[in-house]
Structure 1
């Protein structure tokens, strides 16, 4: 068998040939790492078709037909079973771009050479758990012997639990079937493939279809005797577990002497009737096989399917009974955590690509943030599922809020660096004059103020300084206060009165600038609060959209279950099983109640969980911003909220 795979940038990891996925070594099942890794690499939705049946019944040949290949899954040409465990083949789905067809060929059931066949039931159960379409392959007709050979279906409730709280009872062969709706949510559609079929499809003198033949074979007998219960139980299991059923019959593909070279034969060498029957089978599987889903309608990718394989096999090997609900919840925990990480990485990647620091204004940054946040949340919503209490969505919101804050701080840092660089370049000549003592002479203070003003004017003309432009200028001017004070004190051209007036003017200008900075801080805070409000509103809108989609899928799922139950109830009434039909009323009533309760449960989870978390995030954010604005580079605001103007000695007030 080929072991290599080819990857597609569209998310498929397709294989040129099958690989062993689950190995069966006597009493032990184990997952094969290579196949599991390739399956995990499939990021596309998967439709999973599994075949089960007795050994040497031609299962692998049907799988090769579905793969569109003559060779692939090993056919074998002797009485020995060839396939051991479960083999997998990932292929592009015919005429469905963006989807992968996963074929699972299972070990032949009932192989006498194995001696201990307890793993047969586990192989059957795994095929049911993993597939979206299950093909049961058998030879001849559907008679009591065929039903006896399908005893694995009667053991499903012993091998699989639907709900974590249930005990997995039923399936003893003599008891009833309860809560079958819960199983149906997980179970695949069912196709019975009858090989080497030789009978005429007639019933009571009229021609019938393959499906009518199957339904007639599944009719129950009346009575409560042990032999009647034994007759009815496998039929009840098929009817209740697999409400969507289909039957195909196949003639013998070629004469007995050529069967050993079947995979070498061209279609022209095969029986034409068989070729047409096989083509009809493949077309039906291609047209009707749906994406593998889990309760709630979440579509399974190859990555998720690989996790399910691991979970189920590990549970079986631990000696426990696989629980479908527990497996889904564990999967959701892993996948939702990964969804938060993927969404956060998406946000950072987009921000790094789109954001050019420093921005001239805060709204410019917030606009880019809003675009990136929207895409990040979309990424999360597409991947997350069963986040009923919205714990992971709140976690993502907190993460994005923290990252936005960090980008705001980074924007301020980059702006400050840019501004300081510009000011250092512009102030070079001024610094040189101070060192040379140019201003230490009569009227030196006036020239110093004029040169400082020229620097300020040229600085304001510089572009791309960012959001800290005024703050950086204030810090620069403040750094010159000591020099200005010294020059003012030594300037003999000014009288004491003129120095007093000059100091008052400088003080007024400094206070005016700090007031301007305070107003800018307040404006930035308002902008951030508005963005917070926008984000919360959008989050709630997206949450509402997702909840509506979830409610719709859950409703459709429950409606399908109810429809199947009603159809089965109708059949039971037509067959005269009035008590069984009456017993089904309870399940139908439970489904109706569930349909009504799902909607309120979703909204209750949102109100109780998400809204308080949103409010908490907003409160924490506002507290942070208000505290950060109480001090600006060590300058405390006064009690009224205005910035305190710098104090100068009355004898020598500084000027700008």
Structure 2
């Protein structure tokens, strides 16, 4: 994208609405996306920081007045500076707490959407992290009223709080607090500390502090598994702030330039791609579906539910995964299989090779196919494709053989018309000519698997003419004619038995192919399930480790309070 575009519109006296043009651009992105959203009070320089991330002087609109500039959520999709296989999606949100807004309710929804859509959430504030700054982050204390992780009702603890912080840990983005115009020294009890330590100290419950004042801190500690803090000097003097986007880097505060570079490098190197349950990477297509699902839910008056959104997403994505797999299979078969094949084994070998690859294509995109319905659908469609392929192969072979036979026997047809064989000794002459043509037919390559069947049908169609020649030949006795009829019948019977055996062998091979196909699906599914199990285990271990950290922090805080 050359410039940002509004993704979610927040017009006065209207519900949130998705901009279809921006959605189309987002859903054209097939790469995994690293989604960085920024939230914070209005007029605190969020857009300028996002332009820095974009590597541009201008992009997201900056304002030089007391009025908020950004409305809704704006999107900028850019090539990832460090990872060419990913796309960086920047989401700049309208400022929270704008007194001129007609719909303050949407502030909370903008904040909730930023969390739901991002993989890294940047909270931008001015000055220092104190109680005032934490109070302005009130929306974090309302998340359980704005976001549901599971569709089923959650249990509540004795103090009435919902016990779903573990679920939030699994699904919430990494949290970065950007403190702008920071003027203090990073010291604690006279000792230098890092900006991360400054944040963690600010989030600790202070001795004698009422529980209510600790609520925002507690929510940040519990809901966000990864936390980071960056402090920034004022970028320029007061006179230059109104022209900030026009200032060259030389005119900015040297400290700010270093701090901004540090911040950007952290995002480029550490911000993870957006993922959903089970470690499934979110592409631009999927992110677009999430945007529509969440905004539609909010507009309907309901609370966005991550589980429901993932289920809806899985249905869309799994349907697309089946389509991708079938499309891949058809393209590769068309490219690598030339019909007709000489044997059924040749066809089955190519089918097996690209069926295996098609299953990989499906499993690479599919997720949450808990009952394996979509993989069963894929299996059925691939079997249908195989049956269709076999029919096409047989027809191609028949067409080829019929054309060859018509060409080879053209001389005999002309002799029939001329009466060449309607003379004494004509039958033996006819047999010699027919034998010569049959030898040529058998030697000709590329006839396919229906060569014998096509020949049998062709010879049957010529039986009446052959019999008339036989009966008209006066050099043969009646006994010789009877023996010849029996010989022809015996040959036809033997050929029919041969064809029956061939069909039986092919039926066995098709049954074996079906069994092989089932085992291939099963083997790849088991491998995928094991991979998903490991991802879920890692996710569970992350949650448990974070819970232990929270428990340890609570213990230390209780000691400090006592």
Which residue does the alignment assign to 2:72? Answer: 85
Tell whether 2:346 aligns with 1:364.
Answer: yes
- The answer on 1:199 being equivalent to 2:181 is no
Tell me which residue corresponds to 2:274. 292
Query: Do structure 1's residue 269 and structure 2's residue 268 form an aligned pair?
Result: no
Q: 2:512 aligns with which of 530, 538, 545?
A: 530
With structure 2 as the length reference, what TM-score do the two structures score?
0.97
CA drift at 1:271: 0.8
Q: Deviations over 1:603-647 (max 9, x none)?
A: xxxxxxxxxxxxxxxxxxxxxxxxxxxxxxxxxxxxxxxxxxxxx
1:430 and 2:412 equivalent?
yes
Aligned counterparts of 1:77 and 1:168: Cα–Cα separation in 2: 48
Alpha-carbon separation, structure 1, partners of 2:484 and 2:555: 105
Cα deviations by residue, 1:313-350 (Å, 9 ceiling, x for unpaired):
01110111100000000000011011111111111111
Larger CA deviation: 90-99 vs 128-137: 90-99
Q: Which residue is equivalent to 1:394?
A: 376
Task: State the distance in 1 between where 2:84 and 2:264 align.
Answer: 18
User: Retained in 1: the 8 A contact 2:7–2:74?
Assistant: yes
Corresponding position of 1:252: 234
Separation in structure 2 between the aligned mates of residue 142 and residue 200 of structure 1, nearest angstrom: 13
User: 2:476 is matched with which residue?
Assistant: 494
CA contact (8 A) 1:160 1:321 kept: yes
Q: Classify the secondary structure of the residue corresponding to 1:28.
A: coil
Structure 2: tracts of 5 or more residues without a match: none
User: Does structure 1 conserve the Cα–Cα contact (< 8 Å) formed by 2:82 and 2:269?
Assistant: no
Q: Distance in 2 between matches of 1:243 and 1:300?
A: 19
| SS of aligned partner of 1:113 | coil
Q: Distance in 1 between matches of 2:286 and 2:295?
A: 14
- The answer to whether the Cα contact below 8 Å between 1:222 and 1:577 also exists between their aligned partners in 2 is no
Q: CA RMSD in A?
A: 1.6
Within the alignment, does 1:42 sit opposite 2:29 as a pair? yes
Q: How far apart are the structure 1 equivalents of 2:439 and 2:198? A: 94
Cα separation, 2, equivalents of 1:127 and 1:376: 36
SS at 2:122's partner residue?
strand
Q: What does residue range 29-428 of structure 1 map to in structure 2 within 5 Å? A: 29-166=16-153, 175-221=160-206, 228-428=210-410
SS at match of 2:386: helix
Q: Could you give the per-residue CA deviations for residues 50-102 of structure 1, whole angstroms, max 9, x where no partner exists?
A: 00000000001110110111111111111110000000001111121111000
Partner of 1:16: 2
Q: Which residue of 2 aligns with 1:557?
A: 539
Paired positions, count? 558
Q: Distance in 1 between matches of 2:274 and 2:305?
A: 17
How far is the alpha carbon of 1:528 from its aligned partner? 2.0
For CA contacts below 8 A with separation 6 or more, give which structure has more relative contact order. 2
- Shift of residue 370 of structure 1? 1.6
TM-score between both structures, scaled by the size of structure 1: 0.83
How far apart are 1:220 and its partner, in Å? 1.9
- Distance in 1 of aligned mates of 2:170 and 2:514: 40
Worse-superposed segment, 36-45 or 456-465 = 456-465
Q: Is the 8 A contact 1:190 1:242 kept in 2?
A: yes
SS, match of residue 296 in structure 1: coil
Measure, in 1, the Cα distance between the counterparts of 2:383 and 2:162. Answer: 51
- Partner deviation per Cα, 1:118-140 (whole Å, 9 max, x = no partner): 10000000000000000000011
Does the 8 Å CA contact 2:149/2:305 hold for their aligned counterparts? yes
